[in-house]
Amino acid sequence: MYKFTILFSLLTVPLVAFVLFFGGGGHGTYIPFLVLFPLGLIGTFVSDNIKFLFFVLGLFQFPVYGFLMDKFKSKKAFLFIFLFHISAILIIFLFKKNEFF
């Protein structure tokens, strides 16, 4: 019944490993983190570093996307999720672009 929720929950684990690898403990790039988990970077508006609460919010991002796709028919929800995700990326990038380059 919750096909996309389970799939996206399982997909979160390797994506987090990918993002942490490229983050390099603060010495790498945060571009993959921005592209994959923009909700986790919302905390940078409040503070200069990534807070644990917002990191957890980023972890739940993909399972929530999957739940929305399961609940509201995947094709209808996909467009909304895609636009929301791209909007979040653009907002964070425009306001914090000096920190990414």
Global pTM? 0.85
Tens of pLDDT, residues 49-82 = 777 888 888 899 999 999 999 999 878 889 999 9
Please, are residues 43 and 53 in contact by the beta-carbon 8 Å criterion? yes
pLDDT band at 100 (very low <50, low <70, confident <90, very high): low
DSSP label of 41: G
What is d(CA 87, CA 84) in angstroms, rounded to the nearest whole number? 5
Short-list 13, 7, 1, 26, CA closest to 99: 26
pLDDT value, residue 73: 83
DSSP label of 72: T
pLDDT band at 12 (very low <50, low <70, confident <90, very high): very high
Residue owning tokens 């509201």: 72
Domain count for the chain, please give it: 1
pLDDT mean over 7-21? 93
Is residue 101 scored above 80 in pLDDT?
no
Helix (H) or strand (E) holding 32: helix 31-36
Range of the domain at 48: 3-100
pLDDT mean over 74-97? 89
Average pLDDT, the chain: 87
Burial class (CB in 10 A: 0-12, 13-18, 19+), 25: exposed
